[in-house]
Amino acid sequence: MILTVIIPAYNEKKTIQKIIKKIRLVKHIKKQIILVDDGSTDGTREIIRNNLSFKVDKVIFHKKNFGKGAAIISAKKYIKGNYVIIQDADLEYDPQDYKKILKVMIDRKKIAVYGSRVLGKKRYSVKNFTSKSRVFFNHVLTIFSNILFNQNLSDAHTCYKAFDANFFKKIKLTEKDFAFCPEITAKISKLGIKIYEVPINYSGRSYDEGKKISVYDGFRAIYVLFKNKIIFKI
């Protein structure tokens, strides 16, 4: 069994080496690591070339910043694992949680499993999410995802989204930015797939620390949910 880890990275020179180390330290899981530099300008690119290219299985360099979704789309064609998970290049998410996510996928034969930052915790804590706007949009996106697509999610906009690899490769993705999250949720839901959640560890960072998602991304995510409710092609 192989887990493909897709890592979109944009201007993450402070964390990129640390997250690769954390992923490699996860024991008892054979991993394929695909690292996509999405046009970084802060030195991340050079760190990857000089220090990380031999520590991962595939490196992809975008000539400019296209967005998280674009990075995932670029990586899709290189997936070799049985399962695939999305991993942000910052240190907000703990790769040790791969084990509990994979256990559910294998034992319960789930096609899609999300790692919930709020399941079993005090929901939508500003301390965890670092800003009130992030709390608001995550709450709204989760509610709309559940209402529009008959899900029962607690955290629709989480980074940790894991899928059966063969299933994931068949989904046509078009959103190039952070709207990848609502797009994939909408498209798998319209295929009748129930998304399962497991609680994960989460340590949110602030915008001063490099957080990139904006209020615009929140509104765009809502638009993408409604767009995919009406129009959908696999």
> pLDDT for 50-105, tens place per residue?
999 999 999 999 999 999 999 999 999 999 999 999 999 999 999 999 999 999 99
Contacting residues for 182 by C-beta, under 8 A, at least 6 apart: 141, 145, 156, 157, 175, 221, 222, 224, 225, 228
Name the average pLDDT for the chain.
Answer: 90
Question: What does residue 160 show for φ and ψ, rounded to 5 degrees?
Answer: -70, 95
Q: Could you tell me if 26 and 95 are in contact, meaning their C-beta atoms sit under 8 angstroms apart?
A: yes
Task: Report d(CA 225, CA 9) in Å as an integer.
Answer: 24
pLDDT digits (tens, 9 = 90+) for 123-175: 444 444 555 666 777 888 899 999 999 999 999 999 999 999 999 999 999 99
Q: Give me the DSSP letters along 129-162.
A: HSSHHHHHHHHHHHHHHHHHHT---S-TT-S-EE
pLDDT of the residue at 126: 45
- 9's enclosing H/E stretch is strand 2-9
What's the rounded mean pLDDT across residues 37-50? 98
Task: Report d(CA 174, CA 183) in Å as an integer.
Answer: 8
What's the rounded mean pLDDT across residues 173-181? 93
- Angle (CA) 60-78-186 rounded to 5° is 100
Catalogue all structural domains in the chain, each as residue range(s) with its CATH number.
Answer: 2-230 (3.90.550.10)
The sign of the CA dihedral 157, 77, 27, 113 is positive
pTM metric for this prediction: 0.90
Task: Report d(CA 184, CA 195) in Å as an integer.
Answer: 11
* Paired residues of 157 in beta bridges: none
